[in-house]
Structure 1
């Protein structure tokens, strides 16, 4: 026995699945001045809605709400079931502070307090 689903029903199922992913995802990708919702994110890439998102390429920033997670260099992989998949060529975790160029011991004082007579 074979299962056959018409193209119209398949498109409606994909649209419902994508709408559910968009509703639950807080992740977004920024490309220039534009922001697009990320449907799924994994170690090597992410997906966005293919219908409403233009072709992305190059350096992008990934956010979870207002928190900057990664700065990534991406390439387009393939479109499948209404989702466009992108792969990371490079993914760098964003940090709140500048990196130190020296070793800081774990027991180092945070600040030096002055003493006046």
Structure 2
């Protein structure tokens, strides 16, 4: 059995689906000073609402609420069902400090306090 909906009903169903996807995720992408909510996320990429999504290409930051998760290099691949799909060329976890270029022993002092004379 096949069910057909009028164009208005189908548009309403699609709008409700997009609204539910936006409310479910806290993930967002920041690029060029704009913050855009992520609809779906997976290991190799994510989707944004096609109506409001810019043609992202290059470096973007991925956040979960206020927590910076990844710095990503992305390309826009295709649009399907009102969602713009982006894939990662590179996805690097965000760090809260700069990486060190030397070995640090466990239990090593964090800083030295010098004695004043």
What TM-score comes out, normalization by structure 1 length?
0.87
Give secondary structure in 2 for the equivalent of 1:19: helix
- In the comparison of the two structures, how many residue pairs are matched? 117
**Deviation of the 1:112 alpha carbon:** 2.8
What TM-score comes out, normalization by structure 2 length?
0.87
Which runs of no fewer than 5 residues in structure 2 stay unpaired?
A: none
Give secondary structure in 2 for the equivalent of 1:97: coil
Which runs of no fewer than 5 residues in structure 1 stay unpaired?
A: none
Partner residue, 1:32:
32
Give the distance between the partners of 2:81 and 2:13, measured in 1 at CA. Answer: 9
Partner residue, 1:78:
78
RMSD across aligned C-alpha pairs, in angstroms? 1.9
Q: Does 1:94 align with 2:94?
A: yes
1:48-101 deviations in Å (ceiling 9; x for gaps): 111112221111111112221111111112212211110001111110000000
Give the distance between the partners of 1:65 and 1:4, measured in 2 at CA. Answer: 39
Give the distance between the partners of 2:79 and 2:5, measured in 1 at CA. Answer: 20
Partner residue, 2:3:
3
Give the distance between the partners of 1:6 and 1:79, measured in 2 at CA. Answer: 23
Give secondary structure in 2 for the equivalent of 1:58: strand
Partner residue, 1:67:
67
Residues 15 and 82, structure 1, Cα contact 8 Å, conserved in 2 = no
Residues 38 and 48, structure 1, Cα contact 8 Å, conserved in 2 = yes
